[in-house]
Amino acid sequence: MLISKHLLYHATVLSAATRAPAQRSPHQRLASLFRAISYTFLLGLAVLEPRAHAEWRDPPSSLSFETPHGTLSVQTSEYFYDSRLYLDGTPLQPAVQGRLDITYAYQIDDAHAALIAISDGETQCAVHYMWVVLDRTGYRISPRIGSCSKQIKVAAKGSQLVLTTPSAQHADKVDVYTYDGTAITKRTRAATKAEVAALLKP
């Protein structure tokens, strides 16, 4: 089961808004609900349920991710592509550097994983991705993955973290990157009709 304290907190906010007292007018209850929904959408990190969907999404963005094992944060720089990734104020090694965004986050058992989007300023490749997994023993950093596309789908399947993105070589296929905490495996499969249709949307 995937749970985040961010998700739990915002679910509580939303639930409180929907449980408005009966004496409040419908207009007041609706306004309260919209405020809760709007606040939830401002959340920097997104926690996804581990189910398949056809929609391709540009990843959300945050500069920090708090976990029981420390706070992962992006330290920005005057130079656009010189931001660095830190854990509790100490830079990660090997260094994670570029234009950085902490996008999706998962909790799996007692470990916490964050997907980092990295842009180096390369005109031919807009973005790469990597996983950072935190647990009581420290942290692990995956190799860079992705097909240089901002359109991704992310899921956790058991203890595996999965990123799916349109293939750069084949318009009718997708690349699937699976990280088990140790190594990345990549496979290419045919895109479903729903995935192709979603890619064709303006």
Number of domains in the chain: 2
Do 139 and 104 share a structural domain? yes
CB 174 within 8 A of CB 165: yes
Predicted TM-score (pTM) of this structure: 0.72
Q: Using alpha carbons only, how large is the chain's radius of gyration in Å?
A: 19
The 10s digit of each residue's pLDDT in 100-111 is 999 999 998 899
Do 60 and 39 share a structural domain? no
* Residue 67 reports pLDDT greater than 70: yes
Do 77 and 171 share a structural domain? yes
Do 21 and 57 share a structural domain? no
Look at 129 and 61; give whichever has higher pLDDT.
129
3-state secondary structure of 35: helix
Do 179 and 94 share a structural domain? yes
Do 23 and 69 share a structural domain? no
* Residue 174 reports pLDDT greater than 50: yes
* Residue 153 reports pLDDT greater than 80: yes
Selection from 140, 185, 128, 195 nearest residue 162 by Cα: 185
Q: What angle do CA 55, 129, 103 make, to 5 degrees?
A: 60
3-state secondary structure of 54: coil
pLDDT band per the 50, 70, 90 thresholds, residue 196: confident
Torsion angle, alpha carbons of 189, 111, 70, 58, to 10? 20
- For residue 155 the two structure tokens come to 């899921």
Do 100 and 66 share a structural domain? yes
User: Residue 157: which domain range?
Assistant: 48-199
Which pLDDT value is given to residue 55?
A: 66
Do 126 and 35 share a structural domain? no
Do 112 and 30 share a structural domain? no
Do 113 and 72 share a structural domain? yes
Do 107 and 86 share a structural domain? yes
Do 26 and 90 share a structural domain? no
